[in-house]
Amino acid sequence: MKTITVLVGSLRKDSVNRTFAQALEKLAADKFRFVFPDLGAVPHYNEDLWQDLPQSVSTLKRQIEEGDGVLFVTPEYNRTFAPLLANAIAWASRPYGKSSFMNKPGAVIGTSPGAIGAAAGQMHLRALLPVVGVIQLGQPEVYLQWKPGIVDADLAFTDATTREFLTKFINAFDTFIDRTALDEAA
Ligand code: FNR
């Protein structure tokens, strides 16, 4: 069982990205345990705060470091990724040389009610992650258009094709984490 730190870029009570992550957690229950850091508790990035580091930040860094992998789940805001994620990533990437993401296997997914399924937002996030040390899964990409009923009240994906596709993603991420660990050990 692998522990995956899941960073969801929305604080909204009815966030489709959070629901997506929770449904994926259920689908992946035989392989992954998801940990959801509280990104809403993390203050706006301010270099001065390192003098007396907020516990929310040290907890975030520890949760990322302890995980076997990190999953970024982003809404798309104005064709880029969510500012909540930008803030969390800034904190976790510092101090310089001590990024919590260093050599951590990671993957990006996201959803939006729009037809492009957060694709443009995900692309921007993908460009940033290697800079902070994430070793990134390339395929399969997951661009999910969120429609009413796509997930039922028990957090199950209702469509078999979607379930199959997301199972492929889960398996690919699982294998990728194993491969990255082998590379690191070599
Ligand atoms: C959006 N939304 C949006 N959707 C999209 O597909 N492309 C976009 O560029 C944007 N831009 C955008 C900007 C801002 C400021 C907001 C608030 C929203 C819509 C967005 O995808 C939708 O609100 C999702 O439901 C947000 O995700 P959560 O909060 O439901 O997870």
Rounded to two decimals, what is the model's pTM?
Answer: 0.97
pLDDT for 33? 98
Report how far residue 64's alpha carbon sits from residue 51's, in angstroms, rounded to the nearest whole number. Answer: 21
Residues in the chain with pLDDT values less than 70: none
- Domain 2-185, what fold? Rossmann fold (3.40.50)
The first and second tokens of residue 132, run together, are 């902070």
Burial 147-156 (b: 16+ CB within 10 A, else e): eeebbeeeee
How far, in Å, is the centroid of ligand 1 from the Cα of 72?
A: 16
Nearest alpha carbon, ligand 1 atom 29: 15
How far, in Å, is the centroid of ligand 1 from the Cα of 5?
A: 23
Q: Could you tell me which residues are beta bridge partners of residue 4?
A: 34, 69
pLDDT for 185? 82
Q: Where are the alpha helices (DSSP H) in the chain?
A: 16-27, 55-66, 83-92, 119-128, 160-185
pLDDT for 37? 98
Residue the block writes with tokens 């959070």: 18
pLDDT for 159? 96
Strand 69-73 relative to strand 32-35, pairing: unpaired
pLDDT for 117? 87
Protein residues with CB under 6 Å of any ligand 1 atom: 10, 12, 15-17, 75-79, 112-114, 116, 118
Atom of ligand 1 nearest to the CA of 14: 30
